[in-house]
Amino acid sequence: MSLLVAKALGAAFVMGIGSIAPALGEGNAVAKALEGIARQPEASSDLRTTMILGCAITESTGIYSLVIALLILFAL
């Protein structure tokens, strides 16, 4: 196996694992926030703000895995 193939497989593995967790976390957060808004409509602005902040922080994990994958491909 050449070094280029190993880099490509490593980057694919990092992106595969690194994108699954944020996707599941964001889906769960949005589902629970919508459930909370349905139960208490008066708290929708607080729930929405907290959900968006949490999704932004969760998305940073996916972006971090993209950075690591690019480093594997081009810097090593």
Number of structural domains the chain divides into? 1
* In a domain? residue 9: no
Query: What does the pLDDT look like over 22-44, one tens digit per residue?
Result: 889 889 999 999 999 999 999 88
* In a domain? residue 3: no
Q: What would the mean pLDDT of 47-58 be, rounded to a whole number?
A: 90
> Over pLDDT 70: what percentage of the chain?
100
Give the 3-state secondary structure of 6-64. Answer: HHHHHHHHHHHHHHHHHHHHHHHHHHHHHHHHHHCHHHHHHHHHHHHHHHHHHHHHHHH
Range of the domain at 33: 19-74
